[in-house]
Amino acid sequence: MSKWLIRARGSGRQTFLTPSIKQHPAKRIAIVAAGPLTNLALAVLLYGLSFSFGVTETALYVGHGRANTIAAKAGFQPGDKIISVNGVNVGEWEKPSKKSC
């Protein structure tokens, strides 16, 4: 069995280590797989956490507009919140296209 000799500077101590090649194959596989599996677990955790922050509703707001359009003539201003369309309350993005239009 080959051993590696390690000497600590200034201490005069010598330590012999056996190479990891001599370890059981299952243990070597576990050591090699630990890094990528940790990265995968961290990615899944961060991906899940990214959905716990940010926009929680998709409210309807008027974006930027152009002059001389129907919306401008009707008095819409950028940032106005759309509450209802044709008398039907809309609270989410999906409602106006399915119910009131």
Average pLDDT, the chain: 77
Report pLDDT for 16: 60
Cβ contacts of 74 within 8 Å, gap of 6 or more: none
In total, the chain counts a number of residues equal to 101
pLDDT tens string 15-62:
666 566 677 889 989 999 999 999 999 999 999 998 888 766 677 888
- Residue 94 and residue 46: Cα distance in Å, rounded? 28
